[in-house]
Amino acid sequence: MPTPTDRPTARPARRPLARPAARPAGRRRAAALLLGGLLAPAVLPVVGAGPAAAHDRLESTDPADGAGVAVAPDAVVLTMSSPPLALGTRVQVTGPAGVVSTGEARVVDDTVTQAVTGERPAGTYEVQWRVTSSDGHPVSGSFTFTAASAAGSPTASPTASPTASPTTTTGGPAPSASTSTAPAADPVDPASSGGGGALVAVAAAVVVVVGGAGGIIGYRRRRG
């Protein structure tokens, strides 16, 4: 018969293992990543658009880009979005005959004006510009326009030819006036020569009178 000591002893029940608690540092990192992901779409457009929005931009040009004009203008005008700086601003206009821009570009308010001179034949003109923005950053670009007819100095040459011909016509009568005044001294000579002739006539009359008187006296003596 089994004794009490021979009975099997009951094993103690095992307790389930408790999961380790989440670390506080891991939670903070996850929260920061989540917050950054939510704010990134709203922050990035503002940061990216800030410097670009500060630069000035070209609003319009005269002549317009790609436009056709009757003749090439005397000046090219650029209108900017804000008043640019004169320092570093440059505009060059090149046509079929070469560079036709002259002098420095003139900045007034938000416009940049470049003078154009010289012979400007018909054809395509290219304008290359570089403008210093109001924030100090340079912006540049180019545009073209086409002139249907020539302009410039060739149109002024026909007006000069009619003015030269009347000059030679008025100069012709000048020699005739100088030659006509030369004989004006001649009437003085007849006056002096007339006085000499009168003296000769008086002397001849005296000779005749004296001769006649002598003849009469001689005739009377012969008769006596």
Q: Which tens digit of pLDDT belongs to each residue from 81-135?
A: 999 999 999 999 999 999 999 999 999 999 999 999 988 999 999 999 999 998 8
Pick the CATH number of 58-153 from 3.60.9.10, 2.120.10.30, 2.60.40.1220, 3.40.50.2300: 2.60.40.1220
Calpha distance 140→129 (Å, rounded): 6
Residue whose C-alpha is closest to residue 118's, from 96, 86, 137, 133: 96
Structure letter (DSSP) for residue 152: S
In the chain, alpha helices (H): 24-54, 157-170, 173-181, 188-223
Amino acid at 35: L
For tokens 């670390």, name the residue: 23
Amino acid at 88: G
Q: Is 64 within 8 Å of 77 (Cβ atoms)? A: no
pTM of the model: 0.46
Per-residue pLDDT tens over the stretch 31-51: 777 666 666 555 555 444 444
Q: Could you tell me the CA-to-CA distances from 75 to 72, 103, 178 in Å, in that order?
A: 9, 11, 54
> Is residue 177 predicted with pLDDT exceeding 50?
no
Bigger pLDDT: 122 vs 168 = 122
Calpha distance 215→210 (Å, rounded): 9
Backbone angles phi, psi at 113, to 5 degrees: -115, 130
Q: Looking at the chain, how many residues does it have?
A: 224
- At 33 the pLDDT is 73
- At 151 the pLDDT is 84
Domain edges within the chain: 58-153
The two tokens of residue 110 are 């938000």
- At 144 the pLDDT is 96
The distance between the two most distant Cα atoms of the chain, rounded to a whole number of Å, is: 256
Buried b / exposed e over 109-138, threshold 16 CB at 10 Å, is eebbebbbeebbbeeebebebebbbbeeee
Q: Is 111 within 8 Å of 77 (Cβ atoms)? A: yes
- At 180 the pLDDT is 47
Mean pLDDT of the chain: 73
- At 51 the pLDDT is 47
The two tokens of residue 89 are 């601003």
Per-residue pLDDT tens over the stretch 208-223: 676 766 667 766 666 6
**Quick one: what percent of the chain has pLDDT higher than 70?**
48
